[in-house]
Structure 1
Protein backbone atom coordinates (compact mmCIF):
# COMPACT_ATOMS: atom_id res chain seq x y z
CA UNK A 1 0.00 0.00 0.00
CA UNK A 2 1.19 3.52 -0.73
CA UNK A 3 0.22 6.13 1.84
CA UNK A 4 0.05 9.83 1.14
CA UNK A 5 2.13 11.82 3.59
CA UNK A 6 -0.97 13.32 5.18
CA UNK A 7 -2.62 9.90 5.65
CA UNK A 8 0.62 8.44 7.03
CA UNK A 9 0.83 11.27 9.57
CA UNK A 10 -2.81 10.82 10.58
CA UNK A 11 -2.53 7.03 10.91
CA UNK A 12 1.11 6.64 11.89
CA UNK A 13 0.33 3.84 14.34
CA UNK A 14 -1.24 1.80 11.52
CA UNK A 15 1.81 2.47 9.32
CA UNK A 16 4.15 1.27 12.07
CA UNK A 17 1.99 -1.76 12.92
CA UNK A 18 1.96 -2.87 9.27
CA UNK A 19 5.73 -2.42 9.00
CA UNK A 20 6.25 -4.44 12.19
CA UNK A 21 4.01 -7.16 10.74
CA UNK A 22 6.50 -7.53 7.90
CA UNK A 23 4.99 -5.34 5.18
CA UNK A 24 7.10 -2.28 4.33
CA UNK A 25 4.93 0.82 3.97
CA UNK A 26 5.56 3.29 1.15
CA UNK A 27 4.80 6.96 1.70
CA UNK A 28 4.46 9.46 -1.12
CA UNK A 29 4.79 13.22 -1.08
CA UNK A 30 3.07 15.29 -3.75
CA UNK A 31 2.31 12.12 -5.69
CA UNK A 32 5.94 10.93 -5.84
CA UNK A 33 7.51 8.11 -3.79
CA UNK A 34 9.27 9.63 -0.77
CA UNK A 35 10.12 7.07 1.92
CA UNK A 36 9.58 3.49 3.01
CA UNK A 37 8.83 2.57 6.61
CA UNK A 38 10.06 -0.87 7.61
CA UNK A 39 10.76 -2.68 10.83
CA UNK A 40 14.12 -2.28 12.54
CA UNK A 41 14.74 -6.02 12.07
CA UNK A 42 14.15 -5.77 8.30
CA UNK A 43 16.43 -2.73 8.13
CA UNK A 44 19.22 -4.51 10.00
CA UNK A 45 18.89 -7.49 7.67
CA UNK A 46 19.27 -5.20 4.64
CA UNK A 47 22.32 -3.50 6.14
CA UNK A 48 23.96 -6.80 7.07
CA UNK A 49 23.33 -8.21 3.59
CA UNK A 50 24.89 -5.13 1.99
CA UNK A 51 27.96 -5.35 4.22
CA UNK A 52 28.46 -9.04 3.45
CA UNK A 53 28.30 -8.58 -0.32
CA UNK A 54 30.27 -5.32 -0.55
CA UNK A 55 33.66 -5.52 -2.20
CA UNK A 56 36.58 -3.37 -1.13
CA UNK A 57 37.31 -0.14 -2.93
CA UNK A 58 40.55 -1.63 -4.29
CA UNK A 59 38.63 -4.61 -5.70
CA UNK A 60 36.16 -2.21 -7.27
CA UNK A 61 38.95 -0.28 -8.98
CA UNK A 62 40.73 -3.43 -10.15
CA UNK A 63 37.52 -4.73 -11.70
CA UNK A 64 37.18 -1.62 -13.89
CA UNK A 65 36.87 -2.80 -17.48
CA UNK A 66 38.40 0.39 -18.88
CA UNK A 67 40.63 0.68 -21.88
CA UNK A 68 44.32 0.04 -21.62
CA UNK A 69 46.01 3.42 -21.82
CA UNK A 70 49.44 3.51 -23.40
CA UNK A 71 51.97 5.68 -21.67
CA UNK A 72 53.59 8.44 -23.66
CA UNK A 73 57.12 7.68 -24.83
CA UNK A 74 58.66 10.93 -23.63
CA UNK A 75 62.11 11.15 -22.14
CA UNK A 76 62.34 13.15 -18.95
CA UNK A 77 64.17 16.45 -19.30
CA UNK A 78 67.27 17.31 -17.38
CA UNK A 79 66.71 19.41 -14.31
CA UNK A 80 69.34 21.69 -12.83
CA UNK A 81 69.26 22.18 -9.09
Structure 2
Protein backbone atom coordinates (compact mmCIF):
# COMPACT_ATOMS: atom_id res chain seq x y z
CA UNK A 1 0.00 0.00 0.00
CA UNK A 2 1.32 3.43 -0.95
CA UNK A 3 1.75 6.29 1.46
CA UNK A 4 0.11 9.59 0.63
CA UNK A 5 2.39 12.42 -0.43
CA UNK A 6 1.79 16.16 -0.36
CA UNK A 7 2.37 18.10 -3.57
CA UNK A 8 2.15 21.83 -4.14
CA UNK A 9 -0.12 22.96 -6.97
CA UNK A 10 0.48 26.52 -8.15
CA UNK A 11 -2.24 28.23 -10.17
CA UNK A 12 -0.46 31.40 -11.28
CA UNK A 13 -3.36 32.63 -13.44
CA UNK A 14 -5.39 33.15 -10.24
CA UNK A 15 -2.41 33.60 -7.88
CA UNK A 16 -3.38 30.54 -5.81
CA UNK A 17 -1.38 27.74 -4.21
CA UNK A 18 -2.88 24.42 -3.12
CA UNK A 19 -1.21 21.82 -0.89
CA UNK A 20 -2.77 18.56 -2.01
CA UNK A 21 -2.33 15.14 -0.43
CA UNK A 22 -2.42 12.36 -3.02
CA UNK A 23 -1.67 8.69 -3.33
CA UNK A 24 1.30 8.42 -5.75
CA UNK A 25 -0.47 5.54 -7.54
CA UNK A 26 -3.33 7.89 -8.50
CA UNK A 27 -3.69 8.69 -12.17
CA UNK A 28 -3.09 12.37 -12.97
CA UNK A 29 -6.54 12.52 -14.65
CA UNK A 30 -8.21 11.93 -11.26
CA UNK A 31 -6.66 15.12 -9.85
CA UNK A 32 -7.49 17.01 -13.06
CA UNK A 33 -11.13 15.88 -12.62
CA UNK A 34 -11.18 17.23 -9.05
CA UNK A 35 -9.86 20.61 -10.21
CA UNK A 36 -12.39 20.52 -13.07
CA UNK A 37 -15.21 20.28 -10.50
CA UNK A 38 -13.69 22.91 -8.22
CA UNK A 39 -12.71 25.50 -10.86
CA UNK A 40 -15.51 24.75 -13.33
CA UNK A 41 -13.84 26.03 -16.50
CA UNK A 42 -16.21 26.39 -19.43
CA UNK A 43 -16.28 23.83 -22.24
CA UNK A 44 -13.65 25.73 -24.24
CA UNK A 45 -11.01 25.24 -21.53
CA UNK A 46 -8.79 22.35 -20.52
CA UNK A 47 -6.84 21.86 -17.27
CA UNK A 48 -3.18 20.95 -17.68
CA UNK A 49 -0.73 19.97 -14.96
CA UNK A 50 3.00 20.55 -15.56
CA UNK A 51 5.99 19.31 -13.60
CA UNK A 52 9.48 20.67 -14.35
CA UNK A 53 8.15 22.29 -17.52
CA UNK A 54 6.69 19.04 -18.88
CA UNK A 55 2.99 18.30 -19.13
CA UNK A 56 1.98 15.36 -16.95
CA UNK A 57 0.31 12.54 -18.84
CA UNK A 58 -3.30 12.22 -17.61
CA UNK A 59 -3.38 8.43 -18.04
CA UNK A 60 -0.21 7.80 -16.01
CA UNK A 61 0.20 7.84 -12.24
CA UNK A 62 2.14 10.47 -10.32
CA UNK A 63 4.59 7.73 -9.32
CA UNK A 64 5.22 6.76 -12.97
CA UNK A 65 6.11 10.39 -13.69
CA UNK A 66 8.54 10.66 -10.78
CA UNK A 67 6.38 13.07 -8.74
CA UNK A 68 7.64 12.98 -5.15
CA UNK A 69 6.62 14.50 -1.82
CA UNK A 70 6.93 18.28 -1.87
CA UNK A 71 6.94 18.47 -5.67
CA UNK A 72 5.66 21.72 -7.16
CA UNK A 73 3.20 21.24 -10.00
CA UNK A 74 1.92 24.04 -12.19
CA UNK A 75 -1.81 24.16 -12.99
CA UNK A 76 -2.74 25.84 -16.25
CA UNK A 77 -6.09 26.39 -17.88
CA UNK A 78 -5.69 26.28 -21.61
CA UNK A 79 -8.33 27.81 -23.83
CA UNK A 80 -8.79 27.11 -27.51
CA UNK A 81 -6.27 29.33 -29.25
CA UNK A 82 -3.75 29.28 -26.35
CA UNK A 83 -3.54 30.15 -22.67
Q: Report the TM-score, using the length of structure 2 for normalisation.
A: 0.26
Q: Report the TM-score, using the length of structure 1 for normalisation.
A: 0.26
In our comparison, the structure showing a higher alpha carbon Rg is 1
More strand, by proportion: 2
More helix, by proportion: 1
